[in-house]
A and B are shown apart, each in its own frame.
Chain A
Amino acid sequence: MTAPMPISLQVNGERVDTHVLPRLNLADFLREHLHLTGTHVGCEHGVCGACTVRVNNEIVRACLMLAVQTHGASVQTIEGLSDSGEVADLQAAFRDRNALQCGYCTPGMLMAAQDFLLQQAEPDREQIREHLSGNYCRCTGYQAIVDAVETTARSRKAHK
């Protein structure tokens, strides 16, 4: 049973049918098998948040989920959110406010921030910080990230 197992799933709206070893985690599956390298791998034990992706519309740590567990699931990565334009305004706000420097945490940060903005249209800064508490950034000191998320929330509300 340590042999590759068949899985079928949707990744960014496209069907994927393949075989994977049970030990392969979702982050490595996305990066190495599907070449979706926007999902970053930092700590590999659930602390840093760089590997955050959506599974069935909920954010998860891709390093703490096996690829075999995504059989039948729908996975969305930063490539999917970026290509569809879903986070275009959030990305622009990050850029404008210098909410990234090296960019390593940014895909996970955008996934977590977008997840939050979908749940909370009028967040305060404390709520933003709390929702992003599972995502490490070693460059910015977080202030600019919180600013960018706050700005995006305001402009989305104004344009509704």
Chain B
Amino acid sequence: MKASAFAYARATSIGNALGLLAAHGDKAKVLSGGQSLMPAMNLRLISPELIVDIGGIGELRGIALKGEVLSVGALTRHADLLKSPEIAAHSPLLTKAVAHVAHPAIRNRGTIGGSLAHADPASELPACMLALGAIIIVRGQAGERRIPAKDFFRGIYETALSAEELLVAIELPVTRKNAAYFFDEFARRHGDYAIAGLAADAVVKDGAFTNLHLAFFAVGDRPVLSSAACRLIDAVITPALMADASAALDEELEPHDDQQATASMRRHLAKVLLVRCVSTLLGRADLDARVA
């Protein structure tokens, strides 16, 4: 299908975009790369009256290292993230994850800001933001808010962003000493939305986790930062402890049935990912054979 009629404004600056959003409220939609918005409009799932195209705003672009923080502009495309030496060096989880985001032609247009603001529960980048403890920076006419990723995602396509605000950048802490990461997902076709996925950021010392952030996605209405991970920190990982963590994880997930998979299949896959993650990060192949 085709999108219904709308008015189009090419924003010339952040201020100009915020003025348009303030004037039109939720009748307006921000167009970044358009790789989620355009499908939704073509399928007539949404029919905004005004499209505010921020694609030409140069100050929303780019990746910069500022001390211990990596700042990524909202308009940074998936293709830019994938090729960025700064991201590869300081946030390798993101490099790994972006390779799973859609296909080359879509990565050439889709942006990190667009993906986060869209907040599809099956998409990779929101989960990475949780695992990495990112700060999401949004701006409105009243000023700027710095929102921790764990407070940003509120539900299916729902975030803490108001209709009058623009997501302008994200800040990621740079990778620490002894850091390790894991990313994997199950999808019907490479690049498709995940059936279940896991982004993990860890610190491993002497064969044990001294820190572990596990962000599961496509297993609920938003990415889930698992508290079951706490059981695995500073602990000797045994099959019994893994079973314990697995059961705790099960309690935290609220997956849905859809045409891709049943809820119980998603629960199963999340547990498989948990075991793969722990066995990979600790080099413990012995744990993997015990997948329930």
Residues of A within 8 A of B (CB): 1-2, 5, 21-23, 25, 28, 44-46, 49, 52, 58-61, 63-66, 68-69, 71, 112, 115-116, 129-131, 133-135
Contact = CB atoms under 8 A, between A and B. Distances in A.
B156 interface: no
A23 B35 CA distance: 15
A52 B4 CA distance: 22
A44 B109 contact: no
Contacts, number: 94
Given A23-B2, A133-B189, A134-B191, A49 B103 contact: yes
A134 B2 contact: no
Contacts of B50: 1
B240 interface: no
Interface size class of B (residues with CB under 8 A): 20 to 34
A45 B104 contact: no
Given A69-B55, A115-B104, A46 B38 contact: yes
A22 B6 contact: yes
B103 A64 contact: no
A13 B191 CA distance: 32
Contacts of A133: 103, 189-191
B8 A112 contact: no
A142 B42 CA distance: 28
Question: What are the 9 tightest A-B residue pairs by CB atom distance, in nearest-first order?
Answer: A134-B103, A1-B7, A22-B8, A45-B39, A64-B38, A133-B190, A58-B108, A59-B105, A133-B191
Contact of B42 (A44, A58, A60, A116): A44
Contacts of A135: 103
Given A22-B5, A25-B3, 12 more contacts: A23-B6, A25-B42, A44-B2, A60-B105, A61-B35, A64-B34, A65-B38, A66-B8, A68-B10, A69-B31, A69-B55, A135-B103
Nearest to B49: A2
Interface string B1-33: 111111111100000000000000000000100
Interface in B136-167: none
